[in-house]
Amino acid sequence: MAETNVKKNEDTLEESFEKLDSLLERMEDRELPLEEAFSLYQQGLELMKSCNEKIDTVEKKIQVLNGDGSFDEF
């Protein structure tokens, strides 16, 4: 059950993409201090990792849905 609660607190893929867009907008500010830009960059990397994991999970679920043992590309 604890696992279910953790997953409810995670962002959806769409929310993660919105956060990435927001980070990119902030990083485009030429007046942004280097330390803050690096912090935003690290946050972006973590979001990208999370997005990749979510996409991988969806791909695996789609493969399982085929059911007949074959794997189709989508």
The average pLDDT across 6-23 equals: 84
Of the CA atoms within 13 Å of residue 24, those in its CB half-sphere come to 8
pLDDT score for 49: 96
pLDDT tens column, 16-45 = 999 999 999 999 999 999 999 999 999 999
Residue 48 has pLDDT above 80, yes or no: yes
Sign of CA dihedral 18, 23, 26, 29: negative
pLDDT score for 10: 82
In angstroms, the first-to-last Cα distance of the chain is: 32
